[in-house]
């Protein structure tokens, strides 16, 4: 029995080491989280569906390797909608890395910007802003570290993160010695063999595959209805501040100011933009009584971007793409085929890359196409009045769409 036991222990030890070595090798070779900078080989590991679990980890490492001169910051909306390779980007911004991450609030954008600037200077930053992030009550415990911050090279004061080496070891372990990594390695190979799938490109852009699939399953009207309901629930019961600049319960403005100050200090051209949303969402906001708050938010953006500016400050601009226009008023396709989709929007707040290209062309093209307005103290009121006027026109020209949103609102309010 003792001989059996000795044989068992030896066998167990050898097999344990072999299996462990095999798992580490497989995960390192497939590199599902982009930690090892392994080459992306077609049919093998060129797609990275693992970003669904580890996007913040992946982008923290990948952005440093990409050595960008231009950055896109914001939520998954910019990560999907803005193309870092688009021709409109100025030469000084290239290469551009899309550092938009899912559910990123301005603080997250600030921390990732700090992380990049700890490694290199950048020339241009484009930051997409969402009204939702600026609502009252988005408190954050200032002392509590957030999980993703351990991926970053610097602390909140911009000093080298003290535990970074340990965190790097942890990241290595998680990327090689975890069931999740193994499962994502398998998913990576499967996705690479299939082609069209959720993915993050080498320049940080998230694929539109998820929306393509959802649109094909549900069709545009059903998808919009489902999301209209989601956004109603998400905004319902939230406080809409009329003016909250500098208030303790509006940390997003404080964080935005920190981003602006950091960019000014580092001589970075900063392009802030209020992201476009479909008219469905604008109507929902109005039904919820949030319209004046939506306008107040845009005024705050102007105020924050200009406060503390020295004399001439062309480096920080605030763009407004949120309003009624030919893009946001786009109706559902006439075809009843499920595959028929809108050209400019996937759902009420996610715009397509086609619209993202138009936004980039507007920001960097230097030509006024009538879409997107630079907000300043001089232009803000006229812009708000124009949006209101266009809203009235939309309601007159799209009564069916307005009624549909109203019905969703009524049913959800019950």
Partner 1 sequence: MPFNSYQFLFLFLPVVVLGYFALGRFGRLPAVIWLVLASIGFYAFARVDCLAIILPSIVLDYLIARTLARLDESRRRVRAGLLGLGIVANVALLGYFKYRDFFLDTTNLVFGSHFAFGSLILPLGISFITFQKIAYLMDVYSRQVKPGGFLDFLLFTLFFPRVVAGPIVHYREVMPQFDRSPVRWVPTDIAVAICLFSIGLFKKVVIADRVADFANPVFAAPLAGEPVTLLAGWIGALAFTFQIYFDFSGYSDMALGLARIFGIVLPMNFNSPLRATSIVEFWSRWHVTLARFLAAYVYTPLVLSLTRRRMARGAPVLRGRESAISAFLVLIGLPTMVTMTIFGVWHGAGLPFAVWGMLHGLMLTINHAWRTLRPRFWRHQKSHDLIMAPVGFVLTLAGVIVAFVFFRASSVSAAIAVLRGMAGRNGVTTLDSIGSQSILALAWLAVLFVIVTIMPNSLELLAPYRPALDFQMRELPAGAATRVWGRFRLRDLVGSRLGPALVATLAVAGVLGLHHATAFLYWRF
Residues of this chain that bind partner 1 (CB under 8 A): 1-2, 4-12, 14-16, 19-20, 23, 173-174, 177-180, 182
Query: Shortest distance, CB of residue 11 to partner 1, whole angstroms?
Result: 3
Query: Shortest distance, CB of residue 7 to partner 1, whole angstroms?
Result: 8
Distance, in Å, from the CA atom of 46 to the CA atom of 24, rounded to the nearest integer, reads: 19
Enter the DSSP assignment of 375. Answer: E
- By CB neighbour count within 10 A (0-12 exposed, 13-18 middle, 19+ buried), where does 346 fall? buried
Task: Count Cβ atoms below 10 Å from residue 295 Cβ, excluding itself.
Answer: 18
According to DSSP, the residues that pair with 10 across neighbouring strands are none
Q: Please identify which residue in the block is written with the tokens 């900078």.
A: 37
Query: Shortest distance, CB of residue 263 to partner 1, whole angstroms?
Result: 36
Task: Count Cβ atoms below 10 Å from residue 172 Cβ, excluding itself.
Answer: 14
Query: Shortest distance, CB of residue 10 to partner 1, whole angstroms?
Result: 8
Q: Please identify which residue in the block is written with the tokens 């970074």.
A: 164
170 vs 343, which CB is nearer to partner 1? 170
- Give the gyration radius of the chain's Cα atoms: 24
Distance, in Å, from the CA atom of 202 to the CA atom of 65, rounded to the nearest integer, reads: 10
Query: Shortest distance, CB of residue 54 to partner 1, whole angstroms?
Result: 11
Tokens describing residue 106: 């301005």
173 vs 339, which CB is nearer to partner 1? 173
23 vs 88, which CB is nearer to partner 1? 23
178 vs 413, which CB is nearer to partner 1? 178
Query: Shortest distance, CB of residue 71 to partner 1, whole angstroms?
Result: 30
182 vs 340, which CB is nearer to partner 1? 182
Question: Is residue 48 within 8 Å of 198, Cβ to Cβ?
Answer: no
Degrees to nearest 5, angle at CA 269 with 267 and 274: 140
241's enclosing H/E stretch is none
Q: Please identify which residue in the block is written with the tokens 């970003």.
A: 51
38 vs 182, which CB is nearer to partner 1? 182
Distance, in Å, from the CA atom of 153 to the CA atom of 146, rounded to the nearest integer, reads: 14
Query: Shortest distance, CB of residue 360 to partner 1, whole angstroms?
Result: 35
Query: Shortest distance, CB of residue 62 to partner 1, whole angstroms?
Result: 21
Scored b (16 or more CB within 10 A) or e, 51-67 reads bebbbbbbbbbbbbebe
88 vs 172, which CB is nearer to partner 1? 172
Which residue, 201, 179, 197, is CA-closest to 188? 197
20 vs 335, which CB is nearer to partner 1? 20
131 vs 232, which CB is nearer to partner 1? 232
Query: Shortest distance, CB of residue 4 to partner 1, whole angstroms?
Result: 4
Q: Please identify which residue in the block is written with the tokens 């080496």.
A: 165
């Amino acid at each position: 029995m003792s001989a059996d036991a000795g044989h068992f222990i030896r066998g167990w030890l050898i097999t344990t080491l072999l299996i462990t070595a095999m798992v580490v090798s497989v995960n390192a070779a497939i590199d599902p989280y982009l930690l090892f900078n392994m080459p992306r080989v077609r049919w093998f590991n060129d797609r990275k569906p693992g970003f669904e679990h580890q996007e913040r980890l992946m982008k923290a490492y990948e952005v440093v390797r990409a050595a960008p001169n231009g950055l896109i910051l914001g939520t998954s909306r910019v990560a999907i909608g803005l193309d870092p390779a688009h021709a409109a980007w100025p030469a000084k911004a290239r290469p551009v890395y899309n550092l938009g991450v899912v559910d990123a609030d301005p603080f997250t954008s600030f921390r990732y910007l700090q992380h990049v600037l700890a490694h290199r200077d950048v020339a241009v930053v484009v930051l997409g802003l969402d009204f939702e992030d600026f609502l009252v009550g988005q408190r954050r415990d200032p002392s509590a570290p957030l999980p993703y911050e351990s991926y970053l090279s610097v602390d909140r004061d911009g000093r080298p993160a003290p535990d970074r080496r340990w965190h790097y070891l942890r990241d290595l372990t998680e990327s090689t010695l975890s069931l999740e990594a193994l499962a994502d390695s398998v998913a990576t190979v499967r996705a690479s063999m299939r082609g069209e799938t959720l993915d993050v490109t080498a320049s940080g852009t998230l694929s539109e595959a998820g929306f393509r699939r959802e649109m094909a399953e549900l069709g545009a009207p059903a998808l919009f209805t489902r999301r209209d309901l989601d956004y109603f629930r998400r905004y319902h019961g939230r406080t809409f501040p009329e003016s909250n600049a500098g208030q303790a319960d509006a940390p997003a403005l404080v964080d935005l100011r920190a981003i602006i100050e950091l960019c000014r200090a580092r001589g970075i051209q900063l392009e802030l933009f209020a992201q476009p949303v479909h008219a469905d969402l604008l109507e929902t906001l109005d039904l919820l009584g949030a319209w004046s708050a939506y306008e107040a938010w845009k005024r705050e953006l102007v105020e924050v971007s200009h406060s503390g500016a020295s004399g001439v400050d062309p480096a920080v601009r605030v763009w407004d793409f949120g309003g009624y226009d030919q893009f946001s008023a786009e109706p559902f396709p006439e075809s009843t085929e499920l595959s028929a989709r809108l050209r400019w929007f996937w759902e009420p707040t996610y715009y397509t890359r086609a619209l993202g290209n138009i936004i980039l062309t507007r920001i960097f093209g230097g030509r006024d196409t009538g879409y997107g307005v630079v907000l300043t103290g001089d232009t803000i009121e006229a812009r708000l009045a124009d949006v209101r006027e266009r809203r009235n026109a939309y309601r007159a020209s799209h009564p069916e769409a307005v009624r549909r949103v109203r019905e969703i609102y009524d049913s959800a309010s019950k």
